[in-house]
A and B are shown apart, each in its own frame.
Chain A
């Protein structure tokens, strides 16, 4: 049972100090979660802490590959707009 950080993460560090299991790894091109350490915060907190502070939609996934912060859920920019922003950035 572990969460995963995927492409789109902007390395903003917000999650790193919050993780109760120190499972976040500072890495490039984006931060990672050590699957053997991640507990999805089930016993410690009501929600996984990394996903509760992450400012980017769609970059923290559960084991089913579902985004904990789906498009449109954080910024209100809307799914289509935010997808195109990420694409621009990935291409830059």
Chain B
């Protein structure tokens, strides 16, 4: 596949994204310009997601295509996945909600429109929200997600509205594969089925991507990994979108459950295992900056990634608020001050990191094997959460090459509904199963019972690094394991068996 040189922003730095592959180098591998643009965007920067919050407003209910992993009817307050919302907002409700949330959560830096349908199948509603917020909260970054079908038509308006981050969901560039993912699209006042539909959609997505890049708008590509349908093909997708100038690729696992009533759920199409997902992300990373911290959040998510404070900001609560110009102004000043502070702190850390990494790795000459570790964190890039409170764990890999982030995994109790989710013992067992490939769990504290069960499963709990920065602590733990002779070539699984 020839690689067209369509202004690829990633090549600006000497460190290619693929060869470094870790979180810190993900930022280091970007040009200074892009780094500035994404430094406080939690969805576009792995580093930022520890410190900044985002929200989605559900103003875009309509959709113009059908995906086999989507069921247009779904509302469950315990579900966290794209397309799910509790209430659809009018544009003016969405503006008010954004201003209220951004006043209550000063870490909020981004407002996105991601559905529950498609942002560009509801253009009037979406652009009304963007225009109004641009006037009333100009410090908030605006972004949108789209399936791409109507993208070429709206690129001008996107640029005019100052939306500088766009996510396109691209699952394929081959219409034969597309026909297995999209049963139909609505195009030129008609419903079009099958391969012809996929062909049009793909052409529109690719054209939209090129047009956005030409306008200097940052483009992230989301792909849903569907085993047996597009798994091998996504490597090609990754190469092509990178060549066209997308700056980040986010390969997400198919969520497939018969209870969701989707075609894939009902037809028994399975989602990928964490291992399959990671292998594919690693294979694509040779060509592309990969996003690994995605939480596949709801179209009305509020707060830091991995938490959802949507329930704190329901419309009846928002409507009761009085919001005037003075309130908006004061809230904006608080946000800007906090953002400046956090960014200065992160900048200092980035500057120190190269030196730190080098000194950390020097004694690692006798190479140890890579180790997966799980971290309980409530944000700020610190190990600061009680094991039992963690709704998710951040999985890292430590090796002689450094520390890299592999992705988040949901703890078993996530679902919350007691009736659905069974008794506590069962929940713990399922959490342990989720962490099966990890050898260490880092948390601020942990109860005696889970401690014993984790140890029995070959996962060592560690509360010694409470309140320390995640990557530093993982580096230290790995060095200790190395010094103790625990990291000789024997693969982890064999050790567990022993």
A: residues with CB less than 8 A from B are: 10-14, 16-17, 45-47, 49, 52-53, 55-56, 74-77, 81, 85, 88-89
Contact = CB atoms under 8 A, between A and B. Distances in A.
Contact of B72 (A12, A52, A76): A12
B117 A13 contact: yes
A48 to B, nearest CB: 10
Contacts of A55: 63, 66, 72
Nearest to A75: B263
A14 B73 CA distance: 12
Interface residue range, chain B: 20 to 34
B189 interface: yes
A1 to B, nearest CB: 19
A56 B125 CA distance: 23
Given A13-B62, A52-B186, 4 more contacts: A13-B122, A14-B117, A52-B189, A76-B68
Contact of B73 (A45, A81, A89): A89
A75 B183 CA distance: 6
B88 interface: yes
Interface string B224-241: 000000000000000000
B121 A14 contact: yes
Contacts of A11: 61
A47 B73 contact: no
A10 B153 CA distance: 28
Contact of B191 (A13, A47, A81): A47
Given A74-B183, A74-B184, A77-B266, A14 B63 contact: yes
28 contacts: A10-B72, A12-B62, A12-B63, A12-B72, A13-B117, A13-B122, A14-B64, A14-B186, A16-B62, A17-B62, A46-B189, A46-B190, A47-B191, A52-B189, A53-B191, A55-B72, A56-B73, A74-B66, A74-B183, A75-B66, A75-B68, A75-B183, A75-B263, A76-B68, A85-B71, A85-B261, A85-B266, A89-B261
A77 B266 CA distance: 7
Interface string B61-81: 111101010011100000000
A82 B62 CA distance: 21
Contacts of B196: none
B124 interface: yes
A53 B64 CA distance: 7
A89 B71 CA distance: 12
A13 B59 CA distance: 11
Contact of B61 (A12, A77, A88): A12
B117 A12 contact: yes
B92 interface: no
Contacts, number: 65
A56 B64 CA distance: 13
A53 to B, nearest CB: 4
B367 interface: no
**Which residue of A13, A56, A74, A89 has the most chain B CB atoms within 10 A of its CB atom?**
A13
A49 B63 contact: no
Given A13-B62, A17-B124, A76-B183, A52 B190 contact: yes
A46 B186 CA distance: 13
Contacts of A12: 61-63, 72-73, 117
A77 B267 contact: yes
Contacts of B71: 85
Contact of A45 (B121, B122, B189, B266): B189
A39 B191 CA distance: 19
A10 B189 CA distance: 21
A12 B73 CA distance: 8
Interface in B154-207: 183-184, 186, 189-191
Interface in B289-332: none
Nearest to A9: B73
B266 A81 contact: yes
A52 B193 CA distance: 11
Contacts of A53: 62, 64, 186, 191
Contacts of B124: 17
Contacts of A88: 261
B25 to A, nearest CB: 42
Nearest to A55: B72
**Which residue of A45, A46, A75, A81 has the most chain B CB atoms within 10 A of its CB atom?**
A75
Contacts of A14: 61-64, 117, 121, 186
| Across the A-B interface, the 8 shortest Cβ-Cβ residue pairs | A10-B73, A13-B61, A14-B62, A53-B186, A13-B62, A85-B261, A52-B191, A55-B72
Contacts of B191: 47, 52-53
Nearest to A20: B189
A11 B68 CA distance: 19
A3 B73 CA distance: 22
B352 to A, nearest CB: 50
A75 B69 CA distance: 11
B189 A56 contact: no
A50 to B, nearest CB: 11
B442 to A, nearest CB: 40
Contacts of A74: 66, 183-184
A84 to B, nearest CB: 9
